[in-house]
Amino acid sequence: MTVLESIVRDLHELPPPKLVEVATFVHGLTPKSRNRRREALMATAGCLSGAEGQAFEAFVREEADRIDADVS
């Protein structure tokens, strides 16, 4: 059995909501999706001033401490 056949077999056992999750993940792996993300990043890179960037970084660090990794 090939890797693709094994994946398809496993997909047949998943409920529809999980298939949506899988589809979203797989579509995100395509080169086209990666290129779109890179273009968006490049379009916004450097859009914050030094002070704005520092404030944003501090906020993200504070909020990241509140993430509950056990929530699924």
For residue range 7-42, what is the model confidence (pLDDT) as tens digits? 999 999 999 999 999 999 999 889 998 899 899 989
Say if residue 2's pLDDT is above 90.
yes
So what's the pLDDT on residue 44?
A: 87
- Model pTM? 0.49
Tell me what percent of the residues of the chain surpass a pLDDT of 70: 92
Give the domain range for residue 17.
3-64
Average pLDDT for 41-70: 86
Residue 40 is assigned to a structural domain of this protein? yes
Count the alpha carbons within 13 Å of 41 in the hemisphere toward its beta carbon.
6
Residue 72 is assigned to a structural domain of this protein? no
Name the residue with higher pLDDT: 53 or 70. Answer: 53
Say if residue 71's pLDDT is above 70.
no
Is 60 within 8 Å of 52 (Cβ atoms)?
Answer: no
Question: Whole-angstrom Cα distance, residue 19 to residue 34?
Answer: 21
Residue 44 is assigned to a structural domain of this protein? yes
Give the total number of structural domains in the chain: 1
Residue 15 is assigned to a structural domain of this protein? yes
Token pair listed for 48: 């914050």
Residue 52 is assigned to a structural domain of this protein? yes
